[in-house]
Chains A and B, each alone.
Chain A
Amino acid sequence: KNQVEQSPQSLIILEGKNCTLQCNYTVSPFSNLRWYKQDTGRGPVSLTIMTFSENTKSNGRYTATLDADTKQSSLHITASQLSDSASYICVVRNNNAGNMLTFGGGTRLMVKP
């Protein structure tokens, strides 16, 4: 069964600190992995996308890594800001499922002043 597991479920950090969110997946065959940011009451917004051959990708203060051998990804947030408070969802696309996506449960991040 295709699954995406994220940890931690929730995280509280102080403004300016760094943090790393984890994603493990069992989706096969793998097509690509995205990290989405979802503000409360809003739809998810794509942050990064990585294909099989990509190990790391940055988008401003967000850096995603991918280890396709161990089927793990991480999202590192540098110098956190209050506006980073949101849920971060790891999403994996399966080549056998058309454009179907398997979503993780998300990590709820709260950045405190």
Chain B
Amino acid sequence: DTGVSQDPRHKITKRGQNVTFRCDPISEHNRLYWYRQTLGQGPEFLTYFQNEAQLEKSRLLSDRFSAERPKGSFSTLEIQRTEQGDSAMYLCASSLGTYSSTDTQYFGPGTRLTVL
């Protein structure tokens, strides 16, 4: 399978714990995005990378959230001191990163986080 993969698919944690999610983009894709999606809503942008550089972060990305893409390939999203409000689906997407307006983002299956 050469699509975007995410691990784990599901994560249940207790409030106050730290969690880390991993995203493996499509291999030749330069851009990688993280989104958060709550039930019945569309995805909300969190941050994106061009290769290893983190170019933009949403206001939604509080100081408890950190994302990395150390070698410009896979990325990790860490949430520290989780809160119940962090419960959501965390989606990763990747794209070629061309300057074409039709640059397509391909989404992974998501990691569903439940904070008890």
Contacts and interface: CB of A to CB of B under 8 A. Distances in A.
Interface in B68-116: 91, 93, 95, 97, 101-110, 112
A31 B105 CA distance: 15
Nearest to B42: A103
Interface residues of A, number: 25
B92 to A, nearest CB: 8
Interface residues of B, number: 26
Contact of A43 (B4, B41, B103): B4
Interface string B15-54: 0000000000000000100000000111111001000000
B43 A44 contact: yes
21 contacts: A41-B109, A42-B109, A43-B4, A43-B91, A44-B91, A44-B107, A45-B107, A46-B105, A49-B102, A91-B42, A95-B101, A99-B31, A99-B97, A99-B105, A100-B45, A100-B56, A103-B42, A103-B44, A106-B40, A106-B41, A106-B42
